[in-house]
A and B are shown apart, each in its own frame.
Chain A
């Protein structure tokens, strides 16, 4: 995994810190799980093990594994290996941010409009295409999806104000 990050001299977060962060994150999930299991009851009742019995032990194992992984991360990585370079992470974030906006806009704008906007934004900012090309693809793809899903397979997708206005 680290071969790509060491090749050039860029900077970025260390692999160790991300490793520790992931282990800590999973440990937090495990603790939430343990708390929830305790609330549901981890003991025995008349009908056998109670609802929290299984998840409690499962989360306990996660917690223990996270401890081991944390120790391993501190031991195996010096802190000098890079997780990824900032320039690479910027690429990743440049997908994550529009994609996050996209998933939250779907309930309001509908699947078709927000998909068109996402594709258009990608092509304009990352691909630097000319407007005619951007518009052709950003409008064409949702139309193809519409025909494919709503007409052929009869699967309705979320619709927004535009579809209401068009009466679809």
Chain B
């Protein structure tokens, strides 16, 4: 514990180098822009910018990329409040009360509340990461292949049970991800598989290409279909409004705390920021005394989803750092970055790459402080970006996606693949197939398969190895509960409804 605090301070020293602070500010600004623009989100924004960091040291690179992530989380709130357009899926719930507030001329209050709650949520999650991550990592160091597989199993089952999409669509999308991840060289036997003699497929499908296509191009196509008209409110934030709102916010400490906890919980299990924000909004509405006023511009209705979304987005990095299992697509992209920079994600990071891990954690603290200051002072500037017509910004985003896809492997075939993923992403999204599990499956496919096959090898093919001791058995059991959660919930309500009827 004491040692961890020492490490954290060492991390601060790393982050506070002028070069790293510059990257941090750059990252936040880029992140907010990404968050504001339709078609660019945390995951694909980072995927596009990832190649720019190949020449940096891993610590500097992760500082910049994680700051892009914080920036994107902040940026989503701007468009929700001012334009009633959620820049990111997790800020949909913020539009419910944020936009009415802006229409009543209280945009400044709404934005201040949103940014501040984001900050509070993130801070809560970072403190939790600081305290928990080293513990989880030291526990995970003892894991063998069956335990590692059980963690993957739990992560993927949570998707099926917790997402609002139909379970079989989640399963289909996830398993397609695993299948795409399996294409190419088999890690264990060195044999080629599923390539059908096509040299382009030898290295398999890169998940960064999938992320850029599915989320970037797919999102642009969706935007085109809806024919976006940007008509927004103007943002005026002055220090007086900020201070006034800050004076009011402590009243909602209970909502804040509850949202933080919901956010952290949903962020660690890979359900992610979007359901967290909705759940937090829903509960706040049910609990609040003026619950019926929600939706007409109540400040609490901004606080609840923003706190939860930011807490979830941040805590998604806990399993990524300590177990090597990302809690969200964005965390998955960061994990992909680790692999490219030559770091092995997982518990060993805490032993072998202390500078990196604690630099990242320290940058979470500072990045959010810097982020809060930047967004509070520069809102009108960022809002102006949305006033650029889509017929200009649309093709520019397309070009950025193409450049991002190309630079992953310096391969023009990847650009074509990006387009294929893009059209597929549009169709899948329109038909309610969730994309996040697919992306995570492409990233983690090889590792999940490796741990699965190693476990089976050790047990001579018996699946009993996944229940052979208390630890692996209980993680698997949790996974099964998560998998069948919709059925369990259904049965429960039916059981309770019967006596009444």
Contacts and interface: CB of A to CB of B under 8 A. Distances in A.
A89 interface: yes
A4 to B, nearest CB: 7
Contacts of B166: 69, 72
A28 B191 CA distance: 24
Contacts of A106: 402, 406, 412, 415
Interface residues of A, number: 73
B431 A102 contact: no
A15 B427 CA distance: 11
A162 interface: no
B453 A96 contact: no
B217 A111 contact: no
- What DSSP secondary structure best describes chain A's contact surface? helix
B172 interface: yes
Interface stretch (B107-115, B178-186, B290-298, B349-357): B178-186
B412 A49 contact: no
Contacts of A118: 395, 398-399
A79 interface: no
A87 B258 CA distance: 45
A36 B395 contact: no
A137 B395 CA distance: 11
A56 to B, nearest CB: 10
B412 A68 contact: no
A159 B389 CA distance: 29
A107 B413 CA distance: 9
Contacts of B192: 40, 51
A99 B220 CA distance: 11
Contacts of B225: 84, 88-89, 91-92
A129 B398 CA distance: 19
B10 to A, nearest CB: 29
Given A26-B176, A92-B426, A99 B217 contact: yes
A102 B403 CA distance: 12
A166 interface: no
A143 interface: no
B419 A103 contact: yes
A44 B402 contact: no
Interface in B412-439: 412, 415-416, 418-419, 422-423, 426-428, 430-433
Contact of A100 (B396, B419, B457): B419
A48 B186 CA distance: 13
A2 B188 CA distance: 45
Contacts of B193: 36-37, 39-40, 51-52, 55
B219 to A, nearest CB: 11
A64 B26 CA distance: 47
A62 B416 contact: no
A131 B188 CA distance: 57
Given A19-B431, A65-B171, A127-B389, A51 B191 contact: yes
A21 B456 CA distance: 37
Contacts of A119: 392, 395-396, 399
A78 to B, nearest CB: 16
A48 to B, nearest CB: 4
B221 A96 contact: yes
Contacts of B19: none
Contacts of B5: none
Contact of A123 (B171, B226, B391): B391
A36 B194 contact: yes
Interface in B451-496: 452-454, 456-457, 461
A127 B392 CA distance: 8
B87 interface: no
B326 interface: no
6 contacts: A69-B172, A99-B419, A106-B406, A119-B392, A123-B392, A155-B52
